[in-house]
């Protein structure tokens, strides 16, 4: 072999590029990468859209909408009668439109629309969340759902967002029904300040039901069986709604000073009783609703001293603006937000730590 042939370099073979397994056939490279990068971030929207469609087409949604509609129609009927009877003397009375939500009658023990909703509305949150996770687990669809190209927390975030959306639709529908009844049947036209107060009340109602939605989601994650979770959730709701006042009164009686104490101790006992009562979500909601829907309510707390009690008795009747009313109930709103966050964080952390087997 000659030296020229030995020095001649051998030709190099070009390696063929390996095909990307995560690329879908028929799509350009840029669109495929964009779709792959967008799926994990938008996973909760996909889950929320699917859950929202299931909720809206379910019998559960129709039944709960009818129940809340009847719950609002009963006090509205009696409130409309009182407003119609007092119509000749109602000229110049502020916030007449809001009387549709705050007036009651002796036939229903002076219960108004917002007090009825405070009792029945938690059923929305519990009904749309008690089987959100354990229902998927019992049907065997949870492993397949988590096998999709979405993050694990997108499942629980999407289910919570879907519950909030469908609950907001129900509450808004009930509010528009009451407002339409007042406009068409009674001829009451709301002013701008009343509309803003009504919007704020709808948001507070949504927050109140969100507390029970987060609680139902927590039960759905912790309890394996949907029937057991529903029993616990509705049992807690029934206990707090009917016997909550008796329980707080009993606890306050144990912690409060005995009867026959000084006036300052009596006021301190009343404050302690009120503080214990405000641990209940329905108490917070009723006080917020009363302040937002009735501008003449200027205080919701018991005076701490005798001087403050006397000043409250001598206070001239006035009307609060919306900003003043919001400042008055701001601690209540913060407390309800804290309750919702605690329940949702508990459900989130528990779900992220659970093992899901196929």
Q: How far apart are CA 261 and CA 38, in angstroms?
A: 67
Residue 19 domain-assigned (yes or no):
no
Residue 26 lies in a domain: no
CA-to-CA dists, residue 161 to 46, 201, 317, angstroms? 11, 20, 42
| DSSP per-residue string spanning 107-129 | GGTT--HHHHHHHHTHHHHHHTT
DSSP state of 91: T
Per-residue pLDDT tens over the stretch 83-132: 666 555 544 556 677 878 887 655 556 677 888 888 888 988 999 998 88
Is residue 115 a part of any domain in this protein? Answer: yes
Is 18 domain-assigned?
Answer: no
Least confident of 29-33, 39-43, 104-108, 258-262: 29-33
User: How many residues can be counted in the chain?
Assistant: 358
Determine, yes or no, domain membership for 277: yes
Q: Which residue has the higher pLDDT, 275 or 281?
A: 281
> Residue range 16-36: average pLDDT?
48
In a domain, 166, yes or no: yes
pLDDT in tens, 169-192: 999 988 888 888 878 877 777 788
Q: Give the chain's radius of gyration (CA, Å).
A: 29
Report the alpha-carbon distance of residue 84 to residue 82 in Å, rounded.
Answer: 5
Instruction: Please check whether residue 24 lies inside any domain of the structure.
Output: no
What domain count does the chain have?
Answer: 1
Structure-model confidence comparison of residues 309 and 189, the more confident one: 189
Classify residue 177: in a domain, yes or no. Answer: yes
Q: Give the domain extent around 79.
A: 41-305+317-353
Residue range 205-250, pLDDT digits in tens: 999 999 999 999 999 999 988 899 999 999 999 888 888 778 777 7
Helix 43-56 vs helix 29-41: crossing angle, to nearest 10: 60
Q: What is the DSSP string of 207-246?
A: HHHHHHHHHHHHHHHH-S-HHHHHHHHHHHHHHHHHHHHH
């Amino acid at each position: 072999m000659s030296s020229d042939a030995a020095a001649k370099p051998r030709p190099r073979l070009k390696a063929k590029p390996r095909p990307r397994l995560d690329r879908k056939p028929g799509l350009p490279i840029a669109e495929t990468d964009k779709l792959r990068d967008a799926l994990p971030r938008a996973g909760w929207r996909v889950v929320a859209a699917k859950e929202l469609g299931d909720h809206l087409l379910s019998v559960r949604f129709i039944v709960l909408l009818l129940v809340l509609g009847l719950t609002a129609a009963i006090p509205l009927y009696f409130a409309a009668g009182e407003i119609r009877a007092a119509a000749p003397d109602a000229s110049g009375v502020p916030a007449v439109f809001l009387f549709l939500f705050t007036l009651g009658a002796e036939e229903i023990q002076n219960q108004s629309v917002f007090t009825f909703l405070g009792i029945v509305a938690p059923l929305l949150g519990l009904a749309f969340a008690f089987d959100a996770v354990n229902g998927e687990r019992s049907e065997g669809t949870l492993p397949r759902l988590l096998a999709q190209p979405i993050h694990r927390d997108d499942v629980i975030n999407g289910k919570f967002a879907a519950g909030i959306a469908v609950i907001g639709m129900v509450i808004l529908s009930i509010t528009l029904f009451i407002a339409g009844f007042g406009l068409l049947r009674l001829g009451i036209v709301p002013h701008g300040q009343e509309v803003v107060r009504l919007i704020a009340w709808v948001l507070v109602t949504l927050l109140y039901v969100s507390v029970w939605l987060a609680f139902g989601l927590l039960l759905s994650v912790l309890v394996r069986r949907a029937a057991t979770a529903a029993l616990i959730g509705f049992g807690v709701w029934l206990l707090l709604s009917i016997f909550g006042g008796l329980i707080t009164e009993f606890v306050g009686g144990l912690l409060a000073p005995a009867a026959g104490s000084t006036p300052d101790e009596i006021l301190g006992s009343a404050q302690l009783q009120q503080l214990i009562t405000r641990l209940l979500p329905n108490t917070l909601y009723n006080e917020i609703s009363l302040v937002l829907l009735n501008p003449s309510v200027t205080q919701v707390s018991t005076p701490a001293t005798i001087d403050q009690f006397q000043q409250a008795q001598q206070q001239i009747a006035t009307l609060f603006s919306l900003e003043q009313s919001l400042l008055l109930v701001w601690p209540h709103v913060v407390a309800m937000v804290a309750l919702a966050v605690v329940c949702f964080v508990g459900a989130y952390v528990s779900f992220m730590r659970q093992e899901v087997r196929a």
